Structure 1
């Protein structure tokens, strides 16, 4: 079997789909994208795919190593996201060729279902209490919310109190609802210490990205201020990025993104590394159906994966949602807060290519907003 070609589809709301074709008629799907940089990743995929035409798609590890090491300059969000989507598609082809789900090729399942959480609120969360109650009614046992809006290096406790009020409204819906509070890298170390300490009474599931990944050394001090589990890793792109984080020992949960951190091949290795440090995994996935399917295939095989992000109904999905692009949307069945692991061959999903083509004709040019502090300086989004 040989790779004969590929197609890229930039589809709403903010995704990029990749289809890899073979001479035996089998195709594989991947989702290589950086939110807000879809066109840039599109170009990177085209460059990486040049070397794969005519090759056997089954040699996934070798292809991964060539794509990673063959360009001399390596790593980072663009190249690793392009590599990730290609990797997902290669695994999809291999599973379809052998007639088994990808998790069987990774050693088999350690679980039949995967706990999932739902987003509530938006970039500027309001009325999150009512949203949390709605998710409880739908059977979810965990939610995640953005904690704060713009926050300066040292800022007013008025903003801290606003965060506490929102989290209190969510906690009031249930004493045992899992709550993740995403700092989103918006908070700098001086205020992150304050906010983490103040949030401790709410018995959170985790705080996410309390500081930007480039400031991970600050996690040491934050961990000393509170006992809430610390999650990070959505903006880390390889096992080498995660190595120091795990050695330092201040992260409790890692969140590699299977569309950003080298795909199925690399994220399986990253999560297995974390298991050796007794660190849990909750893969990042605010993206589309291909990315979620890839996550669930890896989650199924990783003992330390404990919960999965998914984007159904997330505030970004206003023009399309992740089920729109599937022939059979029921493949993602959520029951009492758990998703069933797809058992079909490959990724276990069937992409509606006709609809993908229709929406790609519309496309998107999504970019994240630019926020500014009251003094006019740019703020983290």
Structure 2
């Protein structure tokens, strides 16, 4: 079996899909994307095609090594995301060729169902409480919410208390058996994190995600030691070498993204590294159905997998949503806060190729929003 073609599709709301065809008619799908840089990643995939066309798709590890280490300049989100999508598609082909789910090729499943969480929006306490109750009514047992909008480097007492009030409102509305995670998108400085996190402790958050930007990873240990709240990070770390800098700092949860961190091959290795540090795995995935399917394959094979992010109804999904590009939408049927183990071959999903092609005719040019502080300076989005 040989690879004959790689085709990328830019589809709404902000995704990039990849199809890899073979001379035996087996097709694999991947999701290579950097949000806001979809065209750039698609070009990187096209450059990788010069090497991949004509190769045996089942030599996954060989191809991963060549794609990541076969050139003088290495790493970075664009290349690692292009490699991630290719890697997902190659595992999809391998599973389909052998008639088994990818997790079977990773050693078999270690659980029968995987816990998932949903996102909520809203800026005021009453809004987030109502949104969380709505998710609870849908059967979810955990949600994630933004900690707040743009922040000054050291913001006011009022700003800190507002963040705490929103989280407290969700906790009061949903009760102690419901988990509330808080994402800060790296919007806090070290000083601001030390101010805010103690105020959140009475609400017992499930975890606080990315309190600092990845450039400040060397300081994550001081944040961990300043709070009882479990700290999660990793959506903007792209390899096991990036994670090596944070795993020994006391983080509780590693969050590699299957569409950014080298795909199934690399995230499986990151999961194993994390296990050695007593760190749980919770793959980052506010993306499309292929990325989620790839994430779940790793989850079901990883003993330290904790919970899985998914994007159904997330505020980014304008125009299309998670299930719109699937033939069988029931594969992501969430019940009681869990998704059942997929049993189909490869990634366990059937992509609606015709729907993808129609959407790609329109495409998208989604760009990351720009946040500014009240003085006009650039703030972290």
Provide the TM-score with structure 2 as the length reference: 0.98
Deviations 1:3-54 (A, max 9, x none): 0011110000000000000000000000000000000101101111210110
Contact 2:6 2:18 in 1 (8 A): yes
Q: Unmatched 5+ residue regions in structure 2?
A: none
Q: Give the match for residue 230 of structure 2.
A: 229
Structure 2 SS opposite 1:360: helix
Counterpart-to-counterpart distance in 2, 1:218 and 1:292: 30
Deviation beyond 4 Å, 4+ runs, structure 1: 122-126
- Select between 152-161 and 102-111 the one with higher mean Cα deviation: 152-161
Counterpart-to-counterpart distance in 2, 1:60 and 1:294: 15
Structure 1 SS opposite 2:110: coil
**1:220 Cα deviation (Å)?**
2.0
Aligned-residue Cα RMSD (Å) equals 1.2
Counterpart-to-counterpart distance in 1, 2:29 and 2:321: 17
Q: Give the match for residue 13 of structure 1.
A: 13
Contact 1:122 1:315 in 2 (8 A): no
CA separation of 1:344 and 1:365: change in aligned 2, threshold 3 A: same
Structure 2 SS opposite 1:16: strand
Structure 2 SS opposite 1:314: coil
Structure 2 SS opposite 1:325: coil
Structure 2 SS opposite 1:164: helix
CA separation of 1:31 and 1:123: change in aligned 2, threshold 3 A: farther
Q: Give the match for residue 197 of structure 1.
A: 198
Aligned residues: 380
The equivalences for 1:203-282 within 5 A come to: 203-247=204-248, 249-282=249-282
Deviations 1:309-361 (A, max 9, x none): 00000001120001000000001111100011211000010000111111111
Provide the TM-score with structure 1 as the length reference: 0.98
Counterpart-to-counterpart distance in 1, 2:178 and 2:137: 12
Counterpart-to-counterpart distance in 2, 1:237 and 1:11: 23
The equivalences for 1:307-318 within 5 A come to: 307-318=307-318
Structure 2 SS opposite 1:357: helix
Q: Give the match for residue 372 of structure 2.
A: 372
Counterpart-to-counterpart distance in 2, 1:176 and 1:11: 38
The equivalences for 1:1-381 within 5 A come to: 1-121=1-121, 127-173=127-173, 174-247=175-248, 249-381=249-381
